A and B are shown apart, each in its own frame.
Chain A
C-alpha cells in the first residue's frame, strides 16, 4: 500500500512539475518594434497572368 502511495505521489509531483514547465516560461519575441504596411508582391511574372475569361 505504501509503495503504491509513493508511486502515486512521485507521479503526481512529476506531472505537476511537467505541467508547470510546459505552461510557464518566457516568450522569445521575434520582432518587438515596428509595424505592418501594405506590400505589393513582385510583378516579375506578370506576363504569366491567368485569364478569368475564356
Chain B
C-alpha cells in the first residue's frame, strides 16, 4: 500500500476516474478538492474504507501532498505555480494551447523547487506521447507524427473542443510552426472499432507543441479533432446547448511516418475508449510514477520524453484495461 498523500483537484467526470485508478494502483491516502464541495464529499464517501482514506479537503490542504493531479478545466498555470512554489509536483490534464505553453514556461521554477510538472497528461495530449515513444522501436528514424481524436470527456472538455474549432491550429512543418484556421484541413480518419471513421479537422490543440518537445527530431506534426457540420458552423458562436455530462465512446489515433531499412514506413496506433476514462488512467499512472519516485527528473515534462519511464507508464495504462490497436493492411 502507498501511504504518501496524492491530491486530485477536480471531482468531475475525469477526477472521479483519477481517484478510481489511484486506488487501483495502491494509493491509500488521497485528498480531493473541488469548487463544488458536495462533489468532493460524495467521491470521498464512495471510496473511503477502513484501509483507504479519500478525504474531501480545501485547495490549501492540497499543499500537503507530494503530487497533485489537476483534473479541472483550464487554466492550470496559476494553480501549478502555487503548488510548485510549495514543493508539490503537478500532473496537469490541460489541453488548452496557451495554458500548456504557460505550464511549460514553469520549467525553471519547477527545477528550482525540485519538483516535476507533467504537462498534458491526458488522452490527447498524453497517451499520444506514450504511443509515439513506444512506436520508435519499429523505425530507424521517425520524422512525422499525425494525431487525431474523436470525442470529449466531461463538460469542460466539451467546451474546450468547441473553442478549439474556432481558433488557430498549430502545426510543425519542416522546421517552422504553421498556423492555419481551425475547422480547415478535412481528413477522414479511421479509429478503432466501435468508433469507426470520422471527418477530422485542424483545431487549436496543444499536441504538436508537446510532441515536438517529446521528440525534437520530428519534422512534421499535425493534430486534428473530429467535428460535425454543426460543430464547425457554430464554432465561433457560444455553445448553443449545455454540454453533456460525459461524451460517449471516444478514440485517439497517432500515425507515425519514418524510415526502416531504407524504406518509407507508416505505422498507425489507436485506442477506442471513453476520453475521460483514458485521461483518468494516464494522469493517475503519471501521478503514481511521480509519487513512487519513478520520475527522477525535475522541471516541466511531457509524456514521451526520453527522461520519463514511458514504457512503464504505458504498461500501467494497458493494465487498466485500455487496449491499443494497430491499423494494418492499408
The answer to whether A and B assemble together is yes
Q: How far is the CA of A48 from the CA of B25 in the complex (A)?
A: 16
Residue of chain A at shortest CB distance from B309: A48
Please tell me if B82 contacts chain A, counting CB pairs below 8 Å. no
Contact A35 B292 (CB under 8 A): no
Known contacts A22-B183, A28-B187; decide if A42 and B137 are in contact (CB<8 Å): yes
Total A-B pairs, Cβ < 8 A: 110
B118 at the interface (CB under 8 A from A): no
Residues in B122-140 with C-beta less than 8 Å from chain A:
131, 134-138
Q: Closest approach, in angstroms, between the C-beta of A17 and any C-beta of chain B?
A: 14
A53 touches B324 (CB 8 A): no
Q: How many residues of B contact A (CB 8 A)?
A: 51
Majority secondary structure, B binding face: mixed
A40 — nearest CB in chain B belongs to which residue?
B324
Main secondary structure of the interface of A (DSSP, over half): loop
> B316's contact among A28, A30, A33, A50, by CB below 8 Å, is which?
A50
Give A43 Cβ to nearest chain B Cβ, in Å: 7
Once bound together, how far apart are the Cα atoms of A35 and B310, in whole Å? 27
Q: How many angstroms between the C-alpha atoms of A46 and B294 in the bound complex?
A: 13
Least CB distance, B287 to chain A, in whole angstroms: 11
A54 in contact with B330 given A38-B324, A41-B134 (CB within 8 Å): no
Distance of A22 Cα from B233 Cα, bound (Å)? 8
CB distance from A13 to the nearest CB of B (A): 17
Let me know if B211 is at the binding interface, CB within 8 A: no
Bound: A45/B317 CA distance, A: 15
Query: What B residues does A54 contact at CB under 8 A?
Result: 1-3, 26, 292
In the complex, the answer to whether B324 meets A23 with C-beta atoms within 8 Å is no
Docked complex: A4-35 residues within 8 A CB-CB of B: 19, 22-23, 25-35
Question: Of B146, B186, B309, B315, which is within 8 A of A27 by CB?
Answer: B186
From 298 to 320 in chain B, residues with beta carbon under 8 angstroms from any chain A beta carbon are 309-316, 318
Contact between chains at A49 and B328 (CB < 8 Å):
no
Cβ–Cβ < 8 Å partners of B202 in chain A: none
Q: Is there an interface contact between A44 and B328, defined as CB atoms closer than 8 Å?
A: no
Q: Are B187 and A30 in contact (CB under 8 A)?
A: yes
